[in-house]
Amino acid sequence: MEDEISSFFESSPPLKNMEEILENLNEFIKLNSSSQGGRRIVCVTSGGTTVPLEQRCVRYIDNFSSGNRGAASTENFVKAGYAVIFLYRR
């Protein structure tokens, strides 16, 4: 199974702005997880998901979720004082 997972990520194109994303994520975590009163951090994923069935991505499995549940969950986490990382499908 690990070989299949590694193969999938090796064959997928890298994010164009991965360095910027990692820098922003690390800064967000640093700001919100300080030892003096830091907030709890939660990551919410929202919206549909597309997963290729083959390397050339001719066929895929797609979930057409609207993302309403993820958005509502995010609002509740924010109201409860969490720092939220919200990932959504464009």
**β-strand partners of 43:** 85
pLDDT digits (tens, 9 = 90+) for 23-49: 999 999 998 987 667 889 999 999 888
Identify the sign of the CA torsion 8, 43, 21, 27. negative
Taking only the tens place, the pLDDT of each residue in 49-85 is 887 787 776 887 888 888 899 999 999 999 999 999 9
pTM: 0.70
pLDDT band at 88 (very low <50, low <70, confident <90, very high): confident
- Which token pair is 58? 């001719």
Exposure string for 77-86, b = 16+ CB within 10 A, e = fewer: beeeebbbbb
